[in-house]
Protein backbone atom coordinates (compact mmCIF):
# COMPACT_ATOMS: atom_id res chain seq x y z
CA UNK A 1 0.00 0.00 0.00
CA UNK A 2 2.19 2.78 -1.34
CA UNK A 3 -0.56 4.84 -2.98
CA UNK A 4 0.26 7.84 -0.77
CA UNK A 5 3.80 8.00 -2.09
CA UNK A 6 3.84 9.68 -5.53
CA UNK A 7 7.21 8.16 -6.31
CA UNK A 8 6.26 4.60 -5.45
CA UNK A 9 5.44 3.55 -9.06
CA UNK A 10 8.39 5.38 -10.67
CA UNK A 11 11.49 3.54 -11.88
CA UNK A 12 14.45 3.65 -9.50
CA UNK A 13 16.43 6.33 -11.39
CA UNK A 14 13.41 8.59 -11.85
CA UNK A 15 12.45 8.24 -8.22
CA UNK A 16 15.99 9.15 -7.13
CA UNK A 17 16.00 12.22 -9.42
CA UNK A 18 12.61 13.36 -8.12
CA UNK A 19 13.74 13.03 -4.49
CA UNK A 20 16.97 14.88 -5.23
CA UNK A 21 15.11 17.74 -6.91
CA UNK A 22 12.67 17.92 -4.00
CA UNK A 23 15.53 18.12 -1.48
CA UNK A 24 17.27 20.77 -3.53
CA UNK A 25 14.09 22.82 -3.73
CA UNK A 26 13.54 22.64 0.02
CA UNK A 27 17.20 23.48 0.64
CA UNK A 28 16.95 26.50 -1.67
CA UNK A 29 13.82 27.74 0.13
CA UNK A 30 15.50 27.26 3.52
CA UNK A 31 18.60 29.12 2.33
CA UNK A 32 16.47 32.00 1.05
CA UNK A 33 14.68 32.22 4.39
CA UNK A 34 18.00 32.14 6.27
CA UNK A 35 19.45 34.86 4.01
CA UNK A 36 16.31 36.95 4.48
CA UNK A 37 16.54 36.66 8.27
CA UNK A 38 20.24 37.66 8.25
CA UNK A 39 19.41 40.55 5.93
CA UNK A 40 16.73 41.81 8.30
CA UNK A 41 19.12 41.39 11.27
CA UNK A 42 21.89 43.43 9.65
CA UNK A 43 19.45 46.12 8.53
CA UNK A 44 18.11 46.45 12.07
CA UNK A 45 21.66 46.49 13.43
CA UNK A 46 22.66 49.24 11.01
CA UNK A 47 19.50 51.22 11.88
CA UNK A 48 20.27 50.91 15.60
CA UNK A 49 23.83 52.11 14.91
CA UNK A 50 22.51 55.18 13.10
CA UNK A 51 20.11 55.91 15.97
CA UNK A 52 22.97 55.64 18.47
CA UNK A 53 25.09 58.08 16.46
CA UNK A 54 22.17 60.49 16.20
CA UNK A 55 21.51 60.26 19.94
CA UNK A 56 25.16 60.96 20.78
CA UNK A 57 25.35 63.89 18.37
CA UNK A 58 22.03 65.43 19.37
CA UNK A 59 22.21 68.42 21.75
CA UNK A 60 21.07 67.42 25.22
CA UNK A 61 19.02 70.52 25.84
CA UNK A 62 17.87 71.40 22.35
CA UNK A 63 15.40 74.23 22.42
CA UNK A 64 15.12 74.32 26.22
CA UNK A 65 16.15 77.97 26.50
CA UNK A 66 14.17 79.13 23.49
CA UNK A 67 11.06 77.40 24.81
CA UNK A 68 11.18 78.98 28.26
CA UNK A 69 12.91 82.35 27.83
CA UNK A 70 9.74 84.13 26.75
CA UNK A 71 9.40 86.46 29.72
CA UNK A 72 11.66 88.28 32.16
CA UNK A 73 13.90 85.90 34.01
CA UNK A 74 17.16 85.34 35.85
CA UNK A 75 19.70 83.56 33.64
CA UNK A 76 21.46 80.64 35.32
CA UNK A 77 24.79 79.33 34.03
CA UNK A 78 26.41 76.36 35.75
CA UNK A 79 30.19 75.90 35.82
CA UNK A 80 30.64 72.32 36.97
CA UNK A 81 33.71 70.10 37.18
CA UNK A 82 37.17 70.55 35.76
CA UNK A 83 37.69 73.78 33.82
CA UNK A 84 39.51 72.57 30.73
CA UNK A 85 39.16 72.39 26.98
CA UNK A 86 36.57 69.82 25.94
CA UNK A 87 34.87 69.56 29.34
CA UNK A 88 31.42 70.79 30.34
CA UNK A 89 33.10 73.77 32.02
CA UNK A 90 35.27 74.71 29.04
CA UNK A 91 35.66 78.36 28.07
CA UNK A 92 33.81 77.60 24.83
CA UNK A 93 30.71 76.32 26.61
CA UNK A 94 30.63 78.92 29.38
CA UNK A 95 31.30 81.89 27.08
CA UNK A 96 28.62 80.75 24.64
CA UNK A 97 26.12 80.52 27.49
CA UNK A 98 27.14 83.93 28.85
CA UNK A 99 26.68 85.63 25.49
CA UNK A 100 23.24 84.09 24.97
CA UNK A 101 22.14 85.08 28.44
CA UNK A 102 23.34 88.68 28.17
CA UNK A 103 21.90 89.16 24.67
CA UNK A 104 18.44 87.91 25.64
CA UNK A 105 16.27 91.00 26.09
CA UNK A 106 14.27 89.23 28.81
CA UNK A 107 17.30 88.57 31.03
CA UNK A 108 17.26 90.83 34.09
CA UNK A 109 20.28 89.31 35.82
CA UNK A 110 22.82 86.49 35.54
CA UNK A 111 23.80 83.92 38.16
CA UNK A 112 26.99 81.88 37.72
CA UNK A 113 26.65 78.77 39.87
CA UNK A 114 30.18 77.39 40.31
CA UNK A 115 31.03 73.91 41.54
CA UNK A 116 34.62 73.40 40.40
CA UNK A 117 38.02 72.60 41.95
CA UNK A 118 39.78 74.57 39.20
CA UNK A 119 41.66 73.60 36.08
CA UNK A 120 43.34 75.35 33.18
CA UNK A 121 44.59 78.91 33.79
CA UNK A 122 43.97 79.69 30.13
CA UNK A 123 40.36 78.46 30.11
CA UNK A 124 39.49 80.19 33.38
CA UNK A 125 41.22 83.38 32.24
CA UNK A 126 39.20 83.47 29.02
CA UNK A 127 35.95 83.17 30.97
CA UNK A 128 37.07 85.89 33.42
CA UNK A 129 37.88 88.27 30.54
CA UNK A 130 34.54 87.56 28.84
CA UNK A 131 32.59 88.34 32.02
CA UNK A 132 34.46 91.63 32.41
CA UNK A 133 33.76 92.52 28.78
CA UNK A 134 30.05 91.68 29.04
CA UNK A 135 29.72 93.70 32.24
CA UNK A 136 31.08 96.74 30.40
CA UNK A 137 28.88 96.07 27.38
CA UNK A 138 25.73 95.58 29.52
CA UNK A 139 26.34 97.81 32.57
CA UNK A 140 22.72 97.59 33.77
CA UNK A 141 22.68 93.79 33.82
CA UNK A 142 24.01 92.40 37.13
CA UNK A 143 26.03 89.17 37.22
CA UNK A 144 26.57 87.34 40.49
CA UNK A 145 28.60 84.22 41.28
CA UNK A 146 27.37 81.56 43.69
CA UNK A 147 29.76 79.00 45.16
CA UNK A 148 28.21 75.56 45.43
CA UNK A 149 30.15 72.69 47.03
CA UNK A 150 33.56 73.86 45.77
CA UNK A 151 34.62 77.17 44.26
CA UNK A 152 38.38 76.86 44.32
CA UNK A 153 41.38 77.84 42.24
CA UNK A 154 40.25 78.45 38.63
CA UNK A 155 36.65 78.26 39.82
CA UNK A 156 37.26 81.17 42.16
CA UNK A 157 39.18 83.02 39.45
CA UNK A 158 35.97 83.00 37.38
CA UNK A 159 33.85 84.03 40.37
CA UNK A 160 36.11 87.05 41.01
CA UNK A 161 34.91 88.58 37.73
CA UNK A 162 31.31 88.76 38.98
CA UNK A 163 29.73 91.76 40.66
CA UNK A 164 29.24 89.84 43.92
CA UNK A 165 30.06 86.36 45.22
CA UNK A 166 27.74 84.31 47.42
CA UNK A 167 28.32 80.92 49.05
CA UNK A 168 26.83 78.37 51.38
CA UNK A 169 28.37 78.47 54.85
CA UNK A 170 29.91 75.03 54.19
CA UNK A 171 31.18 75.76 50.66
CA UNK A 172 34.91 75.33 50.03
CA UNK A 173 36.36 78.59 48.68
CA UNK A 174 39.83 79.86 47.77
CA UNK A 175 42.92 77.85 46.82
CA UNK A 176 44.48 80.84 45.06
CA UNK A 177 47.67 79.21 43.88
CA UNK A 178 49.38 77.36 41.02
CA UNK A 179 50.85 73.88 40.81
CA UNK A 180 52.53 71.48 38.40
CA UNK A 181 53.07 67.79 39.14
CA UNK A 182 55.86 65.51 38.00
CA UNK A 183 57.81 62.41 39.03
CA UNK A 184 61.44 61.30 39.17
CA UNK A 185 62.47 57.83 38.05
CA UNK A 186 66.28 58.06 38.18
CA UNK A 187 66.61 55.78 41.21
CA UNK A 188 64.21 53.23 39.74
CA UNK A 189 66.00 52.90 36.41
CA UNK A 190 69.34 52.58 38.20
CA UNK A 191 68.05 49.68 40.28
CA UNK A 192 66.53 48.02 37.23
CA UNK A 193 69.69 48.47 35.20
CA UNK A 194 67.96 50.55 32.53
CA UNK A 195 70.04 52.86 30.38
CA UNK A 196 68.31 56.10 29.48
CA UNK A 197 68.75 57.28 25.87
CA UNK A 198 67.24 60.60 24.77
CA UNK A 199 68.19 62.42 21.58
CA UNK A 200 67.21 66.09 21.28
CA UNK A 201 67.84 69.15 19.17
CA UNK A 202 67.84 72.16 21.48
CA UNK A 203 69.61 72.45 24.82
CA UNK A 204 66.37 72.46 26.82
CA UNK A 205 64.19 70.14 24.75
CA UNK A 206 64.33 67.54 27.52
CA UNK A 207 63.22 70.14 30.06
CA UNK A 208 62.11 68.42 33.31
CA UNK A 209 62.72 64.95 31.90
CA UNK A 210 61.69 62.63 34.79
CA UNK A 211 64.36 60.10 33.82
CA UNK A 212 67.29 62.43 34.49
CA UNK A 213 68.48 64.03 37.73
CA UNK A 214 66.93 67.31 38.86
CA UNK A 215 68.48 70.31 37.14
CA UNK A 216 68.41 73.37 39.47
CA UNK A 217 68.39 75.76 36.52
CA UNK A 218 65.30 74.07 35.08
CA UNK A 219 63.53 74.11 38.44
CA UNK A 220 64.32 77.81 38.80
CA UNK A 221 62.88 78.50 35.35
CA UNK A 222 59.74 76.52 36.13
CA UNK A 223 59.30 78.27 39.45
CA UNK A 224 59.48 81.59 37.63
CA UNK A 225 56.66 80.45 35.33
CA UNK A 226 54.52 79.32 38.27
CA UNK A 227 55.16 82.56 40.17
CA UNK A 228 54.24 84.60 37.09
CA UNK A 229 50.92 82.79 36.63
CA UNK A 230 50.26 83.10 40.36
CA UNK A 231 50.71 86.88 40.13
CA UNK A 232 48.24 86.96 37.22
CA UNK A 233 45.76 85.12 39.44
CA UNK A 234 46.32 87.50 42.35
CA UNK A 235 45.95 90.56 40.12
CA UNK A 236 42.65 89.28 38.73
CA UNK A 237 41.26 88.60 42.21
CA UNK A 238 42.37 92.01 43.47
CA UNK A 239 40.78 93.68 40.45
CA UNK A 240 37.52 91.81 40.89
CA UNK A 241 37.18 92.07 44.65
CA UNK A 242 38.74 95.51 45.20
CA UNK A 243 38.63 96.91 48.72
CA UNK A 244 36.35 94.11 49.92
CA UNK A 245 39.35 91.76 50.01
CA UNK A 246 41.18 91.67 53.33
CA UNK A 247 44.90 92.45 53.00
CA UNK A 248 46.18 89.20 54.48
CA UNK A 249 49.02 87.17 52.98
CA UNK A 250 47.38 83.79 53.59
CA UNK A 251 44.55 84.71 51.23
CA UNK A 252 46.88 84.09 48.29
CA UNK A 253 48.81 81.18 49.83
CA UNK A 254 46.72 78.42 48.25
CA UNK A 255 44.70 77.75 51.41
CA UNK A 256 40.96 77.09 51.29
CA UNK A 257 38.21 78.23 53.64
CA UNK A 258 34.55 77.59 54.29
CA UNK A 259 32.01 79.96 52.85
CA UNK A 260 31.41 81.39 56.30
CA UNK A 261 35.12 82.08 56.83
CA UNK A 262 35.40 83.51 53.32
CA UNK A 263 32.92 86.26 54.16
CA UNK A 264 35.27 87.51 56.89
CA UNK A 265 38.21 87.43 54.45
CA UNK A 266 36.37 89.35 51.76
CA UNK A 267 36.51 86.43 49.34
CA UNK A 268 32.71 86.17 49.52
CA UNK A 269 30.17 88.97 49.98
CA UNK A 270 27.43 87.06 51.78
CA UNK A 271 25.86 83.67 52.31
CA UNK A 272 23.26 82.62 49.79
CA UNK A 273 22.17 80.17 47.10
CA UNK A 274 21.37 80.54 43.43
CA UNK A 275 17.66 80.61 44.24
CA UNK A 276 17.99 83.22 46.99
CA UNK A 277 20.21 85.43 44.81
CA UNK A 278 17.69 85.24 41.96
CA UNK A 279 14.75 86.06 44.20
CA UNK A 280 16.23 88.45 46.78
CA UNK A 281 19.17 90.11 45.03
CA UNK A 282 18.15 90.21 41.37
CA UNK A 283 14.46 90.24 42.19
CA UNK A 284 13.33 87.74 39.56
CA UNK A 285 12.45 84.22 40.75
CA UNK A 286 11.74 82.95 37.25
CA UNK A 287 15.02 81.17 36.38
CA UNK A 288 16.12 79.96 32.94
CA UNK A 289 19.12 77.63 32.64
CA UNK A 290 21.47 78.72 29.81
CA UNK A 291 24.16 76.14 30.59
CA UNK A 292 25.69 74.71 27.41
CA UNK A 293 26.13 70.95 27.42
CA UNK A 294 28.69 69.16 25.29
CA UNK A 295 27.11 66.74 22.82
CA UNK A 296 27.53 63.08 23.73
CA UNK A 297 29.58 62.29 20.63
CA UNK A 298 31.89 65.26 21.16
CA UNK A 299 32.26 64.32 24.82
CA UNK A 300 33.13 60.73 23.94
CA UNK A 301 35.77 61.79 21.44
CA UNK A 302 37.17 64.41 23.80
CA UNK A 303 37.34 62.02 26.75
CA UNK A 304 39.10 59.44 24.58
CA UNK A 305 41.61 62.06 23.46
CA UNK A 306 42.06 63.29 27.03
CA UNK A 307 42.62 59.74 28.29
CA UNK A 308 45.33 59.13 25.70
CA UNK A 309 46.91 62.46 26.59
CA UNK A 310 46.84 61.59 30.28
CA UNK A 311 48.54 58.27 29.62
CA UNK A 312 51.26 59.98 27.61
CA UNK A 313 51.56 62.72 30.23
CA UNK A 314 52.05 60.20 33.02
CA UNK A 315 54.61 58.36 30.93
CA UNK A 316 56.54 61.61 30.66
CA UNK A 317 56.02 62.44 34.32
CA UNK A 318 53.81 65.48 33.64
CA UNK A 319 50.41 65.09 35.24
CA UNK A 320 48.22 67.48 33.26
CA UNK A 321 50.62 70.42 33.07
CA UNK A 322 50.24 73.70 34.94
CA UNK A 323 46.91 74.27 36.64
CA UNK A 324 45.38 76.38 39.35
CA UNK A 325 44.94 74.37 42.51
Q: Note down pLDDT in tens along the chain; length 325 residues.
A: 444 455 555 555 566 777 767 777 677 767 777 777 777 776 777 767 666 666 555 554 444 444 444 589 999 999 999 999 989 999 999 999 999 999 999 999 999 999 999 999 999 999 999 999 999 999 999 999 999 999 999 999 999 999 999 999 999 999 998 888 877 777 787 788 887 777 888 888 888 888 888 888 888 998 999 999 999 999 999 999 999 999 888 899 899 999 999 999 999 999 999 999 999 999 999 999 999 876 555 555 555 555 555 444 444 444 445 555 5
Q: Supply the angle between the helices 216-241 and 121-137 in degrees, to the nearest 10.
A: 20
Can you list the pairs that 21-25 forms with residues at least 24 positions away whose Cβ atoms lie under 8 Å? Answer: none
- Which residues are paired to 164 by β-bridges? 144
Residue 8 pLDDT: 54
Active-site annotation holds for 153 = yes
Within 8 A by CB and 6+ apart from 117, the residues are: 82, 150, 152, 153, 155, 175, 325
For 71-324, the fitting CATH number among 2.60.40.10, 3.40.50.300, 3.90.226.10, 3.40.630.30 is 3.90.226.10
Query: Is the separation of the CB atoms in 97 and 64 below 8 Å?
Result: no
Catalytic residue among 116, 148, 153, 171: 153
The one-character DSSP state at 173 is E
Active-site annotation holds for 273 = no
Spatial separation of the C-alpha atoms in residues 320 and 18, rounded to whole Å:
77
Number of neighbours of residue 163 by Cβ within 10 angstroms: 16
Spatial separation of the C-alpha atoms in residues 255 and 274, rounded to whole Å:
25
Catalytic residue among 103, 169, 205, 285: 205
Amino acid sequence: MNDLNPNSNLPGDDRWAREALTKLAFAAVAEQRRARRWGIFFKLLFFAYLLALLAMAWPEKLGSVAATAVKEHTALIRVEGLIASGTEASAKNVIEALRKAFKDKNTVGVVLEINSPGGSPVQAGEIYDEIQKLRQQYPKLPVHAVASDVCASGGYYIAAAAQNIYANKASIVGSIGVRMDSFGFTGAIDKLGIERRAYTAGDNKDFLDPFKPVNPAEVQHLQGMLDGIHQQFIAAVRQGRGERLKNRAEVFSGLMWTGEQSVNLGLVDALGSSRSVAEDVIGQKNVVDYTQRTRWLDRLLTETEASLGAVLGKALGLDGGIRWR
